[in-house]
Amino acid sequence: MTGTTQTQQAARRSDATRAAILAAARERFAADGYEKATIRAIARDAKADPAMVMRYYDSKAGLFAAAVAINPGLLDLPVEPSEEIGRRLVSHFLTLWEENGELTALLRVGATDPTAAERVGSVLREQLIPLARQVGPDPEQAQMRATLCASTVLGLAMTRYVLRFPASMELSREEIVEWLGPTVQRYLTDPTP
* 173 touching a second copy, by CB under 8 A: no
Sorted by sequence, the CB contacts under 8 Å of residue 105 that are 6+ apart come out as 26, 29, 30, 67, 68
Query: Which lies closer to DNA via its Cβ, residue 105 or residue 131?
Result: 105
Query: H-type helices in the chain, by residue range?
Result: 6-36, 39-45, 50-57, 60-67, 85-99, 101-110, 114-135, 142-157, 166-169, 173-189
- Residue 47 CB, nearest approach to a second copy (Å): 26
Is 75 a binder of a second copy (CB under 8 A)?
no
Binding flag, residue 19, DNA (CB under 7 A)? no
Residue selected from 111, 115, 139, 173 as contacting a second copy according to rule CB under 8 A: 111
What is the C-alpha separation between 22 and 16, in angstroms, rounded? 10
Q: By CB under 7 A, tell whether 50 contacts DNA.
A: yes
* Binding-site ranges for DNA (CB under 7 A): 10-11, 13-14, 17, 37-40, 48-52, 54-55, 58-61
